[in-house]
Structure 1
Amino acid sequence: MDNMQLYVAQAVATCFDNDNDAFIPELWAEAGLAILEENMVAASMVHRDFQNRISNFGDIVNTRRPGEFKINRKTDSDTLTQQDAVATNVQVPLDQWFYTSFTIKDGEASYSFQDLVSQYLLPGMQSIARGIDRAVVGRMGHAFLTNKVGKLEGLTAATSHDDVLDARETLNINKAYPNNRNLILHPRAETSLLKNEMFIKADERGDGGEALENARLGRILGFDTFMGQNTPGLNLNLDTVAGTVTNAAAAGTTGSQTVSISGHEVVAGEYCVVEGDHQPTYATASTASTNTTAVTLSDALKYATEAGAVITVYTACAVDGGYAAGYSKAITLDGYTTGKAPQVGQLISFNTGASRRTYTVIEATDSGSSCTVVLDRPLEVALSNDDAAFPGPAGSLNPAFHRDSFALVTRPLALPNERMGAMSAVAAYNDVAMRVTMQYSINAGGTIVNLDILGGTAVLDTNLG
Structure 2
Amino acid sequence: MSNQYLTPDVIAREALLVLENNLVMANLVHRDYSQEFSQVGDIVTVRKPVTFTAKNFNGSIDCQTPTDASVAVEIDRHRDVSFSVSAADLELDIADFSRELIAPAMRAIAQAIDGDLLNEVAKISAEVEADDEAIDLSDIAKLSKTLDLSKAPLDMRRLVLCPTHKYRYATTDNLSKVSNAGDGETLRNAELGKLYTMDTYMDPTSPESAAITPGTATAYAITGTKGATSVALSGVVPTSGTIKAGDCFILDGYRYYFTADATASSGTIAAASIDCELMDTYSAADAYVATDCHSLAFHRNAIALVTRPLALPMGADKSAIMEANGIGVRVVFGYDQDSKTDTVSLDVIYGIQTLDESMAVKLVG
TM-score category by the smaller chain? 0.7 to 0.9
- Where does residue 147 of structure 1 map in the other structure? 126
> Is contact 2:243-2:261 (8 Å) kept?
no
User: Which runs of structure 2 are paired with 1:348-363 in the superposition (5 Å)?
Assistant: 348=250, 359=253, 361=255
Letter in 2 for 1:456: G
Gaps of 5+ in 1: 1-18, 208-213, 241-269, 272-281, 283-315, 324-328, 350-357
Indicate whether 1:34 and 2:10 are aligned.
Answer: no
User: Which runs of structure 2 are paired with 1:320-359 in the superposition (5 Å)?
Assistant: 321-323=224-226, 331-333=229-231, 340-341=243-244, 343=246, 346-348=248-250, 359=253
- Where does residue 12 of structure 1 map in the other structure? none
| Alignment coverage as a number of residue pairs | 336
Letter in 2 for 1:143: K
- Where does residue 106 of structure 2 map in the other structure? 125
d(CA) in 1 for partners of 2:190 and 2:43? 42
Change in Cα spacing, 1:117 to 1:366, as seen in structure 2 (3 Å) is farther
Change in Cα spacing, 1:330 to 1:189, as seen in structure 2 (3 Å) is farther
Counterpart of 1:124 in 2: which secondary structure?
A: helix
**Paired residue for 1:190, among 166, 170, 185?**
166
RMSD of Structure 2 on Structure 1 (CA): 3.1
- Where does residue 53 of structure 1 map in the other structure? 36
d(CA) in 2 for partners of 1:206 and 1:238? 33
Q: CA deviation at 1:373?
A: 4.0
**Paired residue for 1:444, among 339, 342, 346?**
339
- Where does residue 76 of structure 2 map in the other structure? 95
User: Which runs of structure 2 are paired with 1:99-118 in the superposition (5 Å)?
Assistant: 99-118=80-99
- Where does residue 243 of structure 1 map in the other structure? none
User: Which runs of structure 2 are paired with 1:19-418 in the superposition (5 Å)?
Assistant: 20-75=3-58, 78-139=59-120, 141-144=121-124, 146-151=125-130, 154-158=131-135, 160-201=136-177, 217-234=192-209, 236-240=212-216, 271=218, 282=219, 316=220, 319=223, 321-323=224-226, 331-333=229-231, 340-341=243-244, 343=246, 346-348=248-250, 359=253, 361=255, 370-374=272-276, 379=280, 382-384=281-283, 387=284, 392=289, 394-418=291-315
Change in Cα spacing, 1:330 to 1:430, as seen in structure 2 (3 Å) is farther
Q: CA deviation at 1:161?
A: 1.3
Q: CA deviation at 1:73?
A: 2.8
d(CA) in 2 for partners of 1:135 and 1:106? 35
Q: Which runs of 4+ in 1 moved over 6 A?
A: none
Letter in 1 for 2:153: Y
Q: CA deviation at 1:51?
A: 0.4
Counterpart of 1:38 in 2: which secondary structure?
A: helix
Q: CA deviation at 1:371?
A: 2.1
d(CA) in 2 for partners of 1:170 and 1:391? 22
> Is contact 1:435-1:453 (8 Å) kept?
yes
Counterpart of 2:138 in 1: which secondary structure?
A: helix
- Where does residue 323 of structure 2 map in the other structure? 428
Letter in 1 for 2:144: R
Letter in 2 for 1:333: V
- Where does residue 349 of structure 2 map in the other structure? 454
1:219-239 Cα offsets, whole Å, 9 max, x none, are 111111111111112353433
Letter in 2 for 1:200: S
- Where does residue 183 of structure 2 map in the other structure? none
TM-score, scaled relative to structure 1: 0.65
Indicate whether 1:463 and 2:358 are aligned.
Answer: yes
Letter in 2 for 1:222: T
1:289-316 Cα offsets, whole Å, 9 max, x none, are xxxxxxxxxxxxxxxxxxxxxxxxxxx5
Q: Percent identity?
A: 26
> Is contact 1:343-1:361 (8 Å) kept?
no
- Where does residue 287 of structure 1 map in the other structure? none
Change in Cα spacing, 1:89 to 1:374, as seen in structure 2 (3 Å) is farther
Letter in 1 for 2:14: A
1:44-67 Cα offsets, whole Å, 9 max, x none, are 111010000011110000112223
Q: CA deviation at 1:365?
A: 5.2
d(CA) in 2 for partners of 1:220 and 1:456? 30
Q: CA deviation at 1:217?
A: 2.5
